[in-house]
């Protein structure tokens, strides 16, 4: 009831600010200035409430915080610091509650498993918090404890947020929020399953064992709503974004991109939650990766399709782009579109892979965001927006790569991203990949 009441303050606050804005316009204040003020106040309240509530509400806030690079600077600037804090922390639950969860899943003698246990949480995230401890064999470990009632709170949050989706319009005009929230709901249901997360993390750990670029902590133990892994030190990516020197920003950005692209090739999985709180830049230059609750399967056939589509996009031939999008289901077979219009939309997103080196920037992201808003706002019969669709098999990969792009823009990172695509994406550096029979055989 308390959570619902807090979420209910959002539409009330929005209505009040809108009424106030209308009043100010009637006494002569410029409409643009009033709209900006409403936008700022809405964002301030929105992120404050989402961060406090944890669960699905905070997860939505984390997703939005990744894409703040696409907001106009005059809007994003004043509350960028609060978004960064949202990526890294949330109010913790009491120590007594943590002990109760540990006793429920590890037994009343749960302390016997540890040589030391810090009651102060090292991190508090959307559906659980992490405590630093020393395992009985001397290893320093991270003990991830799920909030009691997290599943019920998550479902309630998403049902409520879906109904309040119009509140996000001042921040992201033209974006259809409900489908995004629905996909997040499905993914977070999976994240609540620590058995599945432990399995995914073990697969990544094995695939990247002794890797010179990455560290994936090993799973030490798992029971119910408790997951114990090796501890990982390092500089949070949010801090690198806030004040890191350019060489570390470039290094972090390239490694983040390499990790997301190499996962499907190395273990047929992709990490789909690339917000900065899940990554650490180690002193030796490696990238540490956390939180595998959102990992998704990417079969070999889909890897070929992604590589081939990206290659077609970099070539820039409008007719080839349309044919490729039709073949993969982004356009219906009978869709009547202007190939030049499609190429104008797709081309900029392929730009990082059409040149040897590319610098991601907030300005570039804002340009792409504005272009997307323009497309989404045009809902006339026959418009491109009405004929574009995102095939289900691309949903997880799209979330991962678009989220990665948002973080790269926050980092203002420069790197050889085309070379990474050539290395890890089959079908990108050749004539478009094998035929369907070959791809089917490769998948098998």
Query: Which pLDDT tens digit goes with each residue over 390-408?
Result: 788 888 898 899 889 989 9
pLDDT band for position 203 (50/70/90)?
very high
The answer to whether residues 360 and 253 touch, using CB atoms and an 8 Å cutoff, is yes
Q: Which residue has tokens 């190939």? A: 339
Helix (H) or strand (E) holding 130: strand 128-135
Q: Tell me what pLDDT residue 281 has.
A: 95
199-208, 221-230, 361-370, range with the lowest pLDDT = 361-370
Q: Cα-atom radius of gyration of the chain, to the nearest Å? A: 23
Please list, residue by residue across 135-151, b when 16 or more beta carbons sit within 10 angstroms of its beta carbon and e when fewer do: beeeeebbbbbbbeebb
For 256, which DSSP code?
A: H
pLDDT digits (tens, 9 = 90+) for 230-264: 999 999 998 999 999 999 999 999 999 999 999 99
Torsion, CA 24, CA 25, CA 31, CA 36, rounded to 10 = 20
pLDDT band for position 386 (50/70/90)?
confident
pLDDT digits (tens, 9 = 90+) for 292-331: 987 999 999 999 999 999 999 998 899 999 999 999 988 8
Query: What's the predicted TM-score (pTM) here?
Result: 0.76
Q: Tell me what pLDDT residue 106 has.
A: 97
Helix (H) or strand (E) holding 116: strand 114-124
Show Cβ contacts of residue 118 under 8 Å, excluding neighbours closer than 6 positions: 131, 132, 133
Cα gap 346→330, rounded to integer Å? 12
Helix (H) or strand (E) holding 219: strand 219-223
Percent of the chain with pLDDT over 70: 67
Q: Tell me what pLDDT residue 20 has.
A: 43
The answer to whether residues 304 and 434 touch, using CB atoms and an 8 Å cutoff, is yes
For 91, which DSSP code?
A: P
Structure-block tokens of residue 336: 């009547």
Q: Tell me what pLDDT residue 367 has.
A: 82
The answer to whether residues 228 and 144 touch, using CB atoms and an 8 Å cutoff, is yes
Using alpha carbons, list the distances in angstroms from residue 224 to 193, 195, 366, 416: 8, 7, 42, 42
The answer to whether residues 321 and 337 touch, using CB atoms and an 8 Å cutoff, is no
The answer to whether residues 4 and 160 touch, using CB atoms and an 8 Å cutoff, is yes
Mean pLDDT of 125-154: 88
Give the three-class secondary structure for 360.
Answer: coil
Given 3-state DSSP classes, what are the helix, strand and coil percentages for the chain, each rounded to the nearest 5? 60, 15, 25
Please list, residue by residue across 191-214, b when 16 or more beta carbons sit within 10 angstroms of its beta carbon and e when fewer do: bbebeebbebbbbbbebbeeeeeb
Structure-block tokens of residue 303: 């890897």
Cα gap 322→331, rounded to integer Å? 8
pLDDT band for position 34 (50/70/90)?
very low
Cα gap 357→312, rounded to integer Å? 19
Phi, psi of 170 (to 5 degrees): -60, -25
Cα gap 114→120, rounded to integer Å? 15
Where is pLDDT greater, at 373 or 296? 296
The answer to whether residues 190 and 196 touch, using CB atoms and an 8 Å cutoff, is yes
pLDDT band for position 423 (50/70/90)?
very high
Structure-block tokens of residue 125: 């995230």
Q: What is the full DSSP assignment across 398-434?
A: HHHHHHHHHHHHHHT-EE-HHHHHHHH-TTTSSSS--
For 268, which DSSP code?
A: S
Angle (CA) 274-369-90 rounded to 5° is: 40
Structure-block tokens of residue 215: 């560290």
Residue count of the chain, please give it. Answer: 444
Q: Which residue has tokens 């009441």? A: 5
Cα gap 92→88, rounded to integer Å? 12
Using alpha carbons, list the distances in angstroms from residue 129 to 54, 55, 92, 134, 285: 10, 11, 7, 17, 26
Cα gap 395→188, rounded to integer Å? 14
Cα gap 118→134, rounded to integer Å? 9
């Amino acid at each position: 009831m308390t959570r619902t009441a807090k979420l209910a303050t959002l539409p009330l606050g929005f209505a009040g600010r809108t009424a106030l804005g209308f009043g100010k316009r009637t006494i002569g204040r410029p409409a643009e200035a009033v709209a900006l003020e409403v936008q700022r106040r809405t964002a301030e309240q929105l992120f404050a409430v989402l961060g406090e509530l944890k669960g699905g509400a905070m997860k939505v806030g984390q997703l939005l915080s990744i894409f703040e690079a696409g907001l106009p600077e005059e809007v994003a600037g004043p509350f960028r610091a609060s978004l960064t804090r949202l990526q890294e922390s949330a109010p913790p639950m009491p120590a007594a509650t943590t002990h109760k969860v540990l006793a429920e899943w590890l037994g009343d003698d749960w302390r016997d498993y540890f040589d030391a246990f810090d009651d102060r949480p090292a991190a508090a995230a959307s559906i659980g918090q992490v405590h630093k401890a020393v395992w009985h064999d001397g290893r320093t470990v991270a003990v991830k404890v799920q909030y009691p009632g997290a599943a019920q709170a998550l479902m309630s949050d998403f049902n409520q947020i879906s109904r309040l989706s119009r509140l996000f319009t001042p921040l992201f005009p033209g974006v259809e929020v409900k489908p995004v929230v629905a996909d997040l709901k499905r993914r977070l249901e999976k994240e609540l399953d620590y058995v599945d997360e432990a399995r995914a993390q073990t697969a990544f750990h094995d695939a990247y064992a002794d890797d010179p670029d990455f560290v994936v902590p090993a799973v030490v133990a798992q029971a119910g709503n408790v997951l114990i892994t090796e501890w990982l030190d390092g500089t949070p990516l949010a801090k690198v974004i806030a004040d890191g020197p350019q060489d570390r920003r470039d290094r972090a950005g390239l490694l983040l991109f390499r990790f997301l692209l190499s996962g499907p090739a190395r273990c047929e999985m992709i990490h789909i939650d690339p917000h900065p709180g899940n990554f650490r830049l180690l002193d030796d230059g490696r990238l540490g990766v956390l939180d595998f609750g959102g990992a998704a399967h990417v079969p070999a056939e889909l890897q070929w399709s992604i590589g081939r589509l990206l290659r077609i996009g970099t070539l820039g031939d409008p007719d080839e782009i349309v044919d490729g999008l039709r073949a993969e289901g982004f356009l219906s077979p009978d869709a009547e579109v202007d190939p030049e219009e499609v190429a104008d939309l797709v081309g900029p997103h392929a730009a990082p892979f059409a040149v040897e080196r590319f610098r991601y920037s907030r300005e570039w992201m804002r340009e792409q965001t504005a272009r997307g808003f323009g497309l989404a706002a045009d809902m006339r019969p026959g418009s491109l927006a009405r004929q574009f669709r995102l095939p289900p098999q691309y949903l997880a990969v799209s979330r991962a790569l678009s989220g990665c792009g948002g973080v790269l823009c926050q980092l203002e990172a420069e790197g050889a991203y085309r070379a990474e695509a050539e290395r890890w994406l089959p079908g990108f550096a050749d004539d478009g990949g094998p035929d369907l029979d070959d791809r089917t055989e490769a998948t098998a």
